[in-house]
Structure 1
């Protein structure tokens, strides 16, 4: 327990107040000796991190960097105990669900804003649209910070959650539409680190075999969050007023800040842990050549490669360049934008179907969103079966002559999901347009769309990570920004879309576009390997 406490923000505070006399790391304890696995050359002079002589730098960069002390090193996140990993999973999933619930929790209130403030329904939809755009923007600009070993995962989590909580305190007191919308955007921006890098935190502690199950489990909470938002606010907005959902966001944010992020979440990034270890070793041994892999790489680069402009180019320009020049990546980006928009359009069309057609109250309509986690859970069964029998079985057999799965092989679940999504959309479209058909039928359609979306995102992200590992992190940020931007626009045009084409026509239009993407998904599965062979951005290039 003391080891766990040493690695969380609360432990860092205790160490700071005690002058590092409490909760000491192994390198700081009496009698510590540097293991044989760590390169150690005796130095009698302390050299600062910022000014290392060329001779020392050459010695550091030509020798192995500081690494784990053994294969069973307890500080390696992959070697953490089961209970410690379970704690991280619970924290990350709860944090994710809280942030995602904040996206849609305001939707029952925004239906009341036109009468209260005299605005159009399109303007009131900005309460949802700007939050979505905010966390997409944050994923592009803020989340890459967590990939820098000098920063790690926790600082972006802690800082963003503190600010998110502070803005959530002020939002219920705002009396202007512009103020509400600005704060909703900022809430989305500050919720972006967990929405975009929560999966990376879980990947840090999860083995290769367990990773697909862990990622899908995290995705389930990401889909459950927006679904439970209208459920917990739908029954309160009537008796408590339109501001109460904004207070509910604060109610969710405070325990996330105090009990979860601020106190109990340990750092999971292995490069960050090794970076901190190398600094402790240099302090204890007075050997300035003990560098982590990150420090070796940074000092091996020239000043131009380490400049802010180079980092911005890698994070902001390169992913768009890959999209522009590689048709396979461009397709995955466009497809994610489409199915993501279809998901958020449900928050605009559900009132038209269940309140206008079936006469439900806001609270009753909120319960319909239970179909989202149900669909996501049911889709997990065949997806996990595919992982177990198709992906992991050859790995367990360990036949040397058996070739590994190609990235396109991981798209097989997406082929099925790409058919299920338009099926669900058409079912929702043509059964939700009239009260003569029971409300459960369009709900089944929405459930199919939700489950298909979860599988599509899992399959596409795995494909990108395997096919384009060098650019995976920046491509994920680009993908998140693109789909959030398109979803924001889709939310804003929803009233015009359904006003002119109706429930059936508007949803069928989205379903027709998804049919075209089904053709594209089968084409990517068939010709993806050839496209990658000609691409300048793959690992082979």
Structure 2
């Protein structure tokens, strides 16, 4: 039985190795970290929009921020559809070592439109806020809600896919992504005042939206090339339950 020191060493080094050597973990970390960072960035930018431009008090601004939660709840309603597609994928599984088992890439299907909603919400919120209070408040609020749907979609996809693809090492893979999420949630909000002041809400939203669009390629590549990537990954091959 491994000693406490050996277990501690493994739990520290394995997530780091996976983050550096596993492209799936690396790009999923970038994807989910950016989405998570946007969540915290919104806490500053929503205040700038609704308190300074719309002259709302702090309590009312807090209600506007709840639109992220509403978006997440809407995203939750797509889970049964995603689960059904995941279970149906077992019938199409022709892999020699896992016949009749659901395909991990089936976890990604709804994340593709979800990631596009995430990016679209950033464009929507940014350009909906350029009126400096002259545009109806529902316009940027809907953009925030749309982004909330995307954030939920990205987060749940990363958790579900890494759990299915890495099985024994799922905790290590998720630990690596958690490191990225925590770092980004601390750093990205620091850029919020300078970002929106120098670029303006429209172009700041455009910049963030284009980054979101670029990262939405991650689930597309895995849907198309996922089985090949899993066959070439030592961690995925080693971690499969018999």
| TM-score normalized by the length of structure 2 | 0.89
State which of 495, 520, 531 in structure 1 corresponds to 2:229. 531
State which of 501, 506, 512 in structure 1 corresponds to 2:199. 501
- Are 2:166 and 1:468 aligned? yes
Q: What 5-or-longer segments of structure 2 have no aligned partner?
A: 91-98
- CA shift, 1:364, in A, is 1.1
Per-residue CA distance 1:36-82 (angstroms, 9 max, x = gap): xxxxxxxxxxxxxxxxxxxxxxxxxxxxxxxxxxxxxxxxxxxxxxx
- CA shift, 1:476, in A, is 1.6
Equivalent residue, structure 2, for 1:418 = 115
Aligned partners of 1:394 and 1:497: how far apart in 2?
Answer: 43
- Asked if 2 retains the 8 angstrom alpha-carbon contact of 1:422 and 1:449, the reply is yes
Provide the aligned C-alpha RMSD in A. 1.9
Equivalent residue, structure 2, for 1:359 = 55
- Asked if 2 retains the 8 angstrom alpha-carbon contact of 1:470 and 1:539, the reply is no
Equivalent residue, structure 2, for 1:405 = 102
State which of 21, 38, 56 in structure 2 corresponds to 1:342. 38
Within a 5 Å distance, the mapping from 1:57-456 to structure 2 comes to 298=1, 305-308=2-5, 310-387=6-83, 389-392=84-87, 403-434=100-131, 435-456=133-154
- Asked if 2 retains the 8 angstrom alpha-carbon contact of 1:379 and 1:451, the reply is yes
- Asked if 2 retains the 8 angstrom alpha-carbon contact of 1:433 and 1:503, the reply is yes
- CA shift, 1:306, in A, is 1.4
Equivalent residue, structure 2, for 1:512 = 210
Per-residue CA distance 1:397-433 (angstroms, 9 max, x = gap): xxxxx73221111111111111110111100000112
Q: What 5-or-longer segments of structure 1 have no aligned partner?
A: 1-297, 299-304, 396-401
- CA shift, 1:484, in A, is 1.0
Aligned partners of 2:194 and 2:110: how far apart in 1?
Answer: 34
- CA shift, 1:359, in A, is 1.4
**Structure with the largest fraction of helix:** 2
State which of 181, 184, 189 in structure 2 corresponds to 1:491. 189
- CA shift, 1:540, in A, is 4.8
Q: Secondary structure at the match of 1:356?
A: helix
Question: Rg larger in 1 or in 2?
Answer: 1
- CA shift, 1:456, in A, is 1.3
Number of equivalences = 231
Q: Which has the higher contact order (CA 8 A, sep 6+)?
A: 2
Aligned partners of 2:218 and 2:89: how far apart in 1?
Answer: 28
